[in-house]
Amino acid sequence: MTTTVDLVPGMVTTREAIAAAYGCGKYQGIEPADDAGKVFVYSDPSAGEEYGYTFDGRAEDDEYGPLYLYTGAGTKGDQKPSDRNGSLLTAAEKNREIHLFVEHGKVPGSGAKQQRYIGQMVVDLVKPYEVRRAPGKDKVMRNVLVFRFRPAPGTTPAWTEDDRLPDALKTDIEITEPGQAAGTPAPVVLPKQSGAKAKKTEQHGTAETVADIPAGQRKVLRREGELVTAFVAHLSAAGHETHSFQITIKGEPGALTPDLYDATDHVLYEAKGQTTRANVRMAIGQLADYRRHIPNKEGLRVAVLLPKEPTADVQDLLAEEGVSLVYQVDDGFVGWPLA
């Protein structure tokens, strides 16, 4: 290594400088630096806009804290959780740090792009990535992996309002494979941090580190993914065609991603990993929003998919709202076929 680059959030540098300092490549969006124990990630939302999607950017905080979305590697064909994408998924077990940069204009007097360092990230513990539909460089629609980054413990990210997730370019709906949009990959196991404490920042006024996500919550989300997978298999065995949708709304960031659509019976399902009233109420609201955008709404039915039977009053709530109930039992599913 011939130069030194101190990785301080907010600093502006170039890919060339990072490559010279840490021995990685400088042309790809994900550049592992094996000898340095790091993976460098370069986010350029404008690159996605060129192809017609806007998945990169600072998403809304959720119950676990700040979140940044990043579209994985691969310009044509379905993206896979291997190779460069795999270097993000295996970073924790290989004890490699993930460092996020965002495109920051051009180097004065040059065509080279500058990179602003956001900070050290970790892949989300519960849901490392989401599968979205987007056009490739060849304009053919394909599956892309949208990684979910959290600030590493002790990191105060240097993001700004300009780094917010861009609004969708148009209102659109894309068909996805069953359960893909809501599928939950296995949680990433992160190494324990020693002595790392949350830092405060005047800009955001909240702790800018991701808290430990309870194991119970991870289990619930895994159960939800497994529930959808089991029900898809159940429907397929009965000869039903299933898929889901990715719904983008012009002027809004992100996308709506229903869990499952049974095209044979014209039923939209929302799955929950718990049968609590709060979860069922959330599912009712989600279905009410989703159904507004589904093509051929005539005769469309909606249903909540649960891992077990909920209480009698929750069942009454669903019935009064006109939402069907399907739940799993040892030998299949109760409530299906829908009456």
pLDDT digits (tens, 9 = 90+) for 15-55: 999 999 999 999 999 999 999 999 999 999 888 777 777 89
Q: Do 254 and 144 fall within a single domain?
A: no
Q: What angle do CA 257, 261, 267 make, to 5 degrees?
A: 125
Q: What is the pLDDT of residue 182?
A: 40
Q: What is the pLDDT of residue 216?
A: 59
Of 152, 177, 211, at which residue does a domain stop? Answer: 211
Q: What is the pLDDT of residue 217?
A: 58
Q: Do 261 and 126 fall within a single domain?
A: no
Q: Do 205 and 290 fall within a single domain?
A: no
More confident residue, 126 or 24: 24
pLDDT tens-digit map of 206-229: 333 344 555 555 666 678 888 999
pLDDT band (50, 70, 90) for residue 167:
confident
Examine residue 177 and state whether it is found in any structural domain, yes or no.
no
Q: What is the pLDDT of residue 194?
A: 35
Q: What is the pLDDT of residue 184?
A: 42
Residue 206 CA to residue 151 CA, distance in Å, equals 13
Q: Do 249 and 155 fall within a single domain?
A: no
Phi, psi of 319 (to 5 degrees): -65, -45
Give the chain's end-to-end CA distance (angstroms, integer): 69
Q: Which amino acid is at 89?
A: L
Q: What angle do CA 310, 234, 279 make, to 5 degrees?
A: 25
pLDDT band (50, 70, 90) for residue 176:
confident
Question: Is 302 in contact with 261 (CB distance < 8 Å)?
Answer: no
Mean pLDDT of all residues in 169-196: 55
- Number of domains the chain contains: 2
Examine residue 4 and state whether it is found in any structural domain, yes or no.
no
What domain range includes position 241? 220-334
Q: Which residues pair with 31 in a beta bridge?
A: 40
Phi, psi of 219 (to 5 degrees): -65, -40
Q: Do 193 and 237 fall within a single domain?
A: no
- How far CA 289 is from CA of 30, 136, 218, 308, in Å, comes to 35, 29, 26, 24
* 180 has pLDDT over 50: no
Examine residue 339 and state whether it is found in any structural domain, yes or no.
no
Mean pLDDT of all residues in 75-85: 93
* 69 has pLDDT over 70: yes
Alpha-carbon dihedral of residues 175, 176, 181, 187, nearest 10 degrees? -170
Q: The domain spanning residue 277 has which CATH number? A: 3.40.1350.10
Examine residue 73 and state whether it is found in any structural domain, yes or no.
yes
More confident residue, 122 or 195: 122
Across the chain, mean pLDDT equals: 85
Examine residue 56 and state whether it is found in any structural domain, yes or no.
yes
Of 211, 245, 266, at which residue does a domain stop? Answer: 211
* 135 has pLDDT over 70: yes
Q: The domain spanning residue 145 has which CATH number? A: 2.30.280.10
pTM of the full structure: 0.73
Residue 307 CA to residue 224 CA, distance in Å, equals 8
Token match 């159960």: residue? 223
Q: Do 148 and 258 fall within a single domain?
A: no
